[in-house]
Structure 1
Amino acid sequence: MELKRIIFIFVFGFLYVFLIFLTFIYNNSLSKDFEELASILESPEYALLLDSEGNTLVYNQKKYEAWIDLDFMKKRKEYEKNKYLLNQRFNEEQMQDKKFLKWGVYDTYEEAYMDLGVLNKFSNIYPVTQRVYNELFNFDQLIGKIGKTTYGIEPFLLEKGLLENQDEIRLSIDLELQKIVYQELLKAVEKESAEGGTAIIMESNTGKIKASVSLYPWNIAYMGYIEPGSTLKPLLIALALDENIVNTNDIFYSGYEYFPTGKNNFRVTESQGYGFGEIGLKETIVHSSNIVISKIMNEILKEFSNQWLYQKLINFGFGAKTGVEFKGEINGILPLPNTWYEITPYQISLGQGIGTTPIQLVSAFNVFANNGKYVQPSFLEDTSTLKRQVISEPTTDIIKDWLGYTVIEGTAKKAYKEGLRIGGKTGTAQKAQSGVGYIKGSYYSLFVGFYPLVDPKYTALIVIDNPKEEFYGGEVAAPVLKDIFYRYTKEKGIETSESKKVYYNNIMPDLTGFSVVEAYNILLNMGINGKDIIIIGNGDKVVSQSISPNKYIDDSKIIELYAFK
C-alpha cells in the first residue's frame, strides 16, 4: 500500500513538473514573439495641445489593444481550429502573410480579455496611449496627426522635440475665432460656388496666428502658393516713398493703355477698361491703378537694379519659409534676378510672376499694422516675438491711412460696416497652370487687411478660389473679413464704435437729427475748421448734409448742414 502511494506521488509529481515545463516553453515562445510587437507599440504620452484660452485641442487617452500571434498559432497547428473565430472579423486576404493580428481596441483590460475569449492563449493585451484630436473647424488640416500626416503643427513640434517632457503646450489659436472664420469662409465658398478658400488671422503686434482655415484636401495656406495680384501695390509704393523715388504730392496719368518697356512686349491696362486720368499715390491704391503702379516701377528701375528689388521682396518675407511651426511649409516662388526678363519687374508690380504662400502674404502686409516692422508668424502662445524694420514708421502711417480710405471710397467698399474701421487692399489674381500659362476666366479673389484701423489688433487674409459669378477681390473676399470681425466682436462682447459714438477726423458722421449746435461742435472736435462749416436754414435740427455719412472728408471741401423747419 505504501509502495503504491509512493509510485502515485512520483508519477503525479513527474506529470506536474512536465506540464509546468511545457507551459514555460509554450508561454516563453509566445512571450518572445510579443516582445517584438511590444517594442513597436510603445506609445509615449506627449504634451496636450491647448488653444490660447486653455481649451483642449489634442489630448491623450489610455486604451488597451488586443493582439493575436498568428505565427505562434500556426506553429501550434491550431490555426485551422480557430479560423472560424478569426473570420468573424477578418477575411483571408487581411490575414495573409500577417504575423500579428490586431483584434481590437478597448477602454479597459477586462473588456479586451472578455472579447478575446478562447483566443487569449494566443494573445497579449497592451496598454497604449492614443492621441485624441478636435477635428472641428478645419483643425485636422491645421494641427495634423502624429504618425498619420506628414504636415501640420503637431508633426513639427514632434520633430523639434517639443512634445516630450512637458505636460501641455498652449497654441496661439483662438477656438472661438477659428469657428467663426471656418463658418464664414465656408458660407462664402458655397455661396460663390468656389473651388476652395483660405483665411488666416494673426495678432498684428506679435505675429501669433489666431485662426487659420484652408478649405481644400490639403492646407494651401502653408503648402501652396498664389500670385498676390494688386495686394502687392501698397508694399511697392511704400518702398518708393521710403527711398524718395516718389512723394505724396506726385501726380501720374492713367490712360487707356501703357507700354512700360517702350515696346509692344508688355501692355498694361486698367481692369475696368478705361483710365483714371491724373491721380496721386493715394488714388493709385484706392482704385488699384495698374498703369500708375507700372509707372512707379519705371521710376524705381531708374534708381535701383533688379537685385535691389529682389532683396526688398526677400525682406518682406517672400521667396523663403516664414519659419512658422508648421511641417510642410514651402518657400513659394521668387525667381532669382539673373533669370528675370525685361518685363519681369513690371509683372511683379501687378502682383504677377511670383508665387507667395498665404502665410507669407499676410505676414508681409502686417508691416502696415505694425509700424513698419515685419513680425515672424508663430503658432505658439508662449514665444518671443522676432521683428525687423522694413518700412519707416512715417511711410507706414501714410499707407495705413490710404488703406482705410480704400474701404470707404475704393475697391474694398464691401469691407465697410458702421462701427468697424477696417483697412486693407483687394486683389484679383488670374490663376496659372504649369506649362499652360494663365487660365482664362479662372481667378483667386483676395483681400488682405487689418482691424481696427487705429492701433490694429489683427491682420488677416481672405482668398476665395475661382468664384463662379463675381471674381474681383472687393466683391467676393472683402465682405468675408467684415463679417468675421463683426461676428467676433459681437460674440466676444468687444466694444466697437458701433456700440459707442466715436467720430473719426477724416470720416463724415451722420449728423441728421442732431441739434445744429451739437452737430457744429462735433465737427469742430473732429478738427474741422469752423470757416469750412456752413449752416443753411433756420431750423433747430440738422435734416440733411452735403457730404453723405461715412464718406471721406477732403481738406478742401466745405461741409453744409441743412436745418430747415
Structure 2
Amino acid sequence: MKKELLSRYIKITSIIICMFILLIIKIFIIQKDYENETMPTIYKGGNQTEKISQIDYQVYDYSGKNIVSLAKKYILVIEVNAFRMNNVKDSQEGLLAFNYIMKSQYPDFSLDDIVNKNGKLYFDKLDAESYEKLKDLTKVIKGIYVYNYDCVDNKDAWKIENILTLINKDKSKNINSTSQVNDSLEKNILNTVRGNKDNIISLSLNSKGFYSKETYGIDDNNLNPQLTLDEEWQQKIRDVLNRKLFSKLPNIGVAIVESSTGKVRVLAQKDESKPNILIGATGLGFPPGSIFKVVDEITAISENKLDLSKKYVCNGVLCKKNGKPHPHGTLNLNEALRVSCNEAFSQLGASLGYENIMSMCDKLGLFSKVLNLNDEAAGVRAEKISGMNNISIGQSLNVTPIQMTAVINTVVNNGVYIKPTILEGYKDNKNQFISLDKPKSINILDSQSALIIKNQLKDVVNNGSGVKAQVSGVEIGGKTGTAEGTSGNDIWFLGYFKMNNKYYSMVILVPNLIGTNDDGDSYGGGNTAAPIFSQVVEAIK
C-alpha cells in the first residue's frame, strides 16, 4: 500500500514539474524576439488613465456623511505591447506566479493568447487576495497594472440612497425618454452634476516597461447632492425593522419628517430589494384607512363644522373587530377618534361633502407627487360615486406614506402645511455649499384649531387605539389605520413625537397583510403598526 502511494506521489510530482518546465519553455519561445532590456522609444514616458468610480459624485446626508453604498471591483490591466517586453531570464519566477494567480481566477487564462493580442486587456473579476498578490507582481512584471473601481452596490436598489445614486448610469441616455419624468428630482440632480469630471487614476510607464507613479484625479469643482436624510437614524431604524419581533411581517416602511422644516430625515423599509413603498414606487399608492380621519377633522374645522359636543350613534354596521360587527354605541367625535369609529366619521364625512374633502386633500398635497421622484406614485383621487361612507374612512382612494407625513406636519406646525423635501442642496469637493429654495408652505388652519386636533391625537395614544405607540417620557400623538388593499390589508400608524425640543412627523406602513397575529387577532394599526412606532422612537431617542 505504501509503495503504491509513493509511486502515485512521484507520478503527480513529475507531472507538475513537467508542466512548469513546459511553461518556462513556452515563455522563452514566445519571447525569443523580445530580449530587449528596455522599452522601445515609442513607449517611453507613456501614461494610462482609468476611471475609478461608477459615479462622479458623492451623496451626503444632512451632516455631510457620504451615504453611497459602494462595492469594490479589483481590476488587472495588461498592456500587451509592454507585456511582451518581459525577459524570461529576469522574470521567470514572477511570470510563473502571475500565470498561476491568473489561472486561479480565470481557468482559461493563457500567456499564448495574451501575447498574440494587442492593446489593453481588462480582467475585472479578481478577488481581493489575488489583487494584492498581483499588485506586488507589478514591480517585477512589465506591462501590467492594477486598480480599484468603486461601483454602486445595487443589491438594495430601492433604498432611497441608491435611487438617487443609480441615476448616473443613464447619463448618456435621453433623460426625457418615456421612462423618465421631465421635471423629476433625478433629472434635476443629473442636470446639476452633468458637468462633473470622472474620478480617475493615472499611471506612468517608465523606460523599463513598469507602471508606477500612481496619481489620483478628483476635481474640486465636482458637485455632490446633499440630502436631508439622517443616515444614523436610517441605520438604527433598519436594525429595528429587522428584529426577530417583526420577522413575520414581510415588509415595513418608516418615514420621518422634521415637522417645522419639512425635511425628510428617514425613508427606510425592511425589504429594500422591493419597490419603495414609502413613495408608492411603480404602483398607485395605498388606501389610508382610518388615518384619513385626520383629514376629515382638518376639513371639518376649516369649514366650521367640527362640533365636538355632537353625539353619533354606532350600530356596528361599518365597525368590525376580527370580522364581526363591533358597535361603539353613542359617542362624541373625540371618543370616536379615540376608538376609531367608522360610523361616526362616515356621518361627519356626509355632512362635509365630497367637494370639501377633495379640496382639502389638494391643499394637503394628496394625489400629487411630493418628492417628485421618477417612480413616485401620485396616489388615486376618490370618485364621488364611491360614496362618503367609504371616502370618509379612507377607502376608495390611494395615498403614499410620504404624502401623509405632511398631513401630520400641518397639525403639529400650528396649521401650516409644509411640503416634505429630501434634497438640501449641493456641495463641491472644496466643501462649498449651494442651498436650494425653501419648500412651499400654506396656512391651512389657525393655531388653536390645529391644537385641538393635536390634543385629540395625543389622547388616541394615551387612552385609545394607539396605546402601543407610547414611549415613556416622550410626547406622542397619532392615529391607527387598517385599510382593505388589493392583496391584503394595509396597516398604518400616522403620528408625531417630540425629541430635543423638536417635533417630528412619522408614518408606519405594513402593506398587504393577511391572516391573524400570534394572539389570533386580525392585524391592525393598533396591534401591529403602533408597536413599531414605539420601537422606532425608542431606538433614536
Give your verdict on TM over 0.5: yes
Q: Which residue of 1 aligns with 2:443?
A: 389
Which residue is 1:202 aligned to?
Answer: 257
The 1:99/1:363 distance shift into structure 2, 3 A limit, reads farther
Quote the residue 2:358 is aligned against: 310
Pick aligned residue for 1:472 from 507, 517, 524: 524
Aligned counterpart, 2:475: 421
Amino acid at match of 2:61: D
Question: Which residue number in structure 2 is paired with residue 245 of structure 1?
Answer: 305
Deviation at 1:459, TM superposition (A): 0.8
Corresponding residue for residue 174 of structure 1: 230
1:220 is aligned, of 269, 277, 296, to 277
- Give the superposition deviation at 1:320: 1.7
8 Å Cα contact 1:65/1:112 also seen in 2: no
> Any idea what the Cα deviations from partners look like across 1:44-80, whole Å, max 9, x if unmatched?
9844444334444349999984334799999xxxxxx
CA contact (8 A) 1:422 1:450 kept: yes
Q: 1:147 to 1:52 in 2, by over 3 A?
A: closer
What TM-score, normalized by structure 2, do the two folds share?
A: 0.65
Other-structure match for 2:295? 235
Q: What secondary structure is seen at the aligned counterpart in 2 of 1:161?
A: helix
Question: Alignment partner for residue 161 of structure 1, among 192, 213, 216?
Answer: 192
Please give the per-residue CA displacement for 1:374-426, whole angstroms capped at 9, x wherever unaligned.
22222344552431223343321111111111111110011224422210000
Q: Which amino acid aligns with 1:161?
A: T
Q: Distance in 2 between matches of 1:52 and 1:134?
A: 22
The number of residue pairs the alignment matches comes to 425
Residue 395 of structure 2: aligned partner: 352
Aligned mates of 2:72, 2:506 — CA distance in 1: 39
Contact kept? 1:321, 1:329, Cα under 8 Å:
no
Which residue does 1:285 correspond to in 2?
Answer: 337
Code of the aligned partner of 2:528: V
Q: CA deviation at 1:430?
A: 2.5
State the alpha-carbon separation in 1 of the partners of residues 463 and 69 from structure 2. Answer: 48
Aligned equivalents of 2:52 and 2:462: distance in 1? 59
Shift of 1:373: 1.9
Whole-Å separation in 2 of the counterparts to 1:310 and 1:388: 17
Q: How far apart, in 1, do the equivalents of 2:459 and 2:305 lie?
A: 23
CA change 1:315–1:148 in 2 (3 A) is: same
- 1:130 aligned onto 2:190: no
Q: Distance in 2 between matches of 1:462 and 1:209?
A: 14
For 1:51, the equivalent position in structure 2 comes to: 61
1:516 match: none
SS at match of 1:342: helix
Give the partner amino acid of 1:220.
Answer: I
The one-letter amino acid of 2:242's match is L
**Post-superposition shift, 1:235?**
1.0
Letter in 1 for 2:190: E
Q: State the match for 1:67 in structure 2.
A: 77
Q: Distance in 2 between the 1:42 and 1:157 partners?
A: 25
TM-aligned CA deviation for residue 245 of structure 1: 3.3
Q: Which has the higher mean CA deviation after the structures are superposed, 237-246 or 166-175?
A: 166-175
How do residues 506-521 of structure 1 correspond to structure 2 at under 5 angstroms?
none
* Matching of residues 269-280 of structure 1 within 5 Å: 269-271=319-321, 273-280=325-332
405 and 120 in structure 1: CA distance in 2 versus 1, 3 angstrom threshold: same
Q: Which amino acid aligns with 1:171?
A: L
- Counterpart of 1:523? none
SS in structure 2 at match of 1:57? coil
Letter aligned with residue 159 of structure 1: L
Residues 187 and 139 of structure 1, relative CA distance in 2, 3 Å threshold: farther
Inter-CA distance 157–132: structure 2 relative to 1 (3 Å threshold)? farther
Match of 2:457 in 1: 403
Shift in Å, 1:177: 2.4
Q: Which has the higher contact order (CA 8 A, sep 6+)?
A: 2
Task: Give the equivalent residue in structure 1 for 2:122.
Answer: 101
Note closer, same or farther for the CA distance 1:54–1:139 as it changes in structure 2 (3 Å cut). Answer: farther
1:60–1:129 contact (8 Å) kept in structure 2: no
Contact 2:291 2:479 in 1 (8 A): yes
**Largest Rg, 1 or 2:** 1
Go from structure 1 to structure 2 and tell me whether the alpha carbon gap of 1:42 and 1:481 turns closer, same or farther (over 3 Å shift).
closer
* Alignment TM-score, normalising by the size of structure 1: 0.62
Q: Give how far 1:446 is off.
A: 1.4
**Residues in 1 aligned to 2:242 and 2:290: alpha-carbon distance in whole angstroms:** 24
- CA–CA separation in structure 2 for the residues paired with 1:320 and 1:173: 22
Residues 146 and 154 in structure 1, CA contact (< 8 A), matched pair in contact too: no
* Residue identity matched to 1:394: Q
Deviation at 1:220, TM superposition (A): 1.9
Higher mean C-alpha displacement, 399-408 vs 214-223: 214-223
1:321 aligns with 2:369: yes
Aligned residues: percent identity?
Answer: 21
- Offset at 1:249? 2.4
Residue of structure 2 equivalent to 1:90 = 106
Q: Say yes or no: does 1:193 pair with 2:248.
A: yes
Query: C-alpha distance in 2, partners of 1:207/1:348?
Result: 27
Mapped pair 1:343 → 2:389: no
Q: Does 1:143 align with 2:195?
A: no
Counterpart residue type for residue 414 of structure 2? N
Q: Secondary structure at the match of 2:337?
A: helix
1:366 aligns with 2:376: no
Residue 325 of structure 2 aligns to a residue in which SS? coil
Q: How far, CA to CA, are the matches of 2:189 and 2:169 in structure 1?
A: 12
Rounded to whole Å, the distance in 2 between the matches of 1:197 and 1:183 is 12
Segments of structure 1 that go 5 or more residues without pairing to the other structure are 1-18, 75-81, 258-267, 434-441, 490-565
Pair 147,350 (structure 1): closer, same or farther in 2 beyond 3 Å: closer
Give the AA of the match of 1:407. V
**One-letter amino acid of the structure 2 residue matched with residue 462 of structure 1:** I
Equivalent in the alignment of 1:452: 498
Q: How large is the Cα RMSD of the aligned pairs?
A: 4.7
Counterpart secondary structure, 2:67: strand
Question: Is contact 1:252–1:278 with CA below 8 Å preserved after alignment?
Answer: yes
2: CA distance, partners of 1:55 / 1:432? 39
Amino acid in structure 2 at the alignment position of 1:52: Y
Distance (whole Å) between structure 2 residues aligned to residue 412 and residue 452 of structure 1? 16
Deviations 1:81-123 (A, max 9, x none): x999865433569x9x99953355999x9976654699854x6
CA distance 1:342–1:169, shift in 2 (3 Å): closer
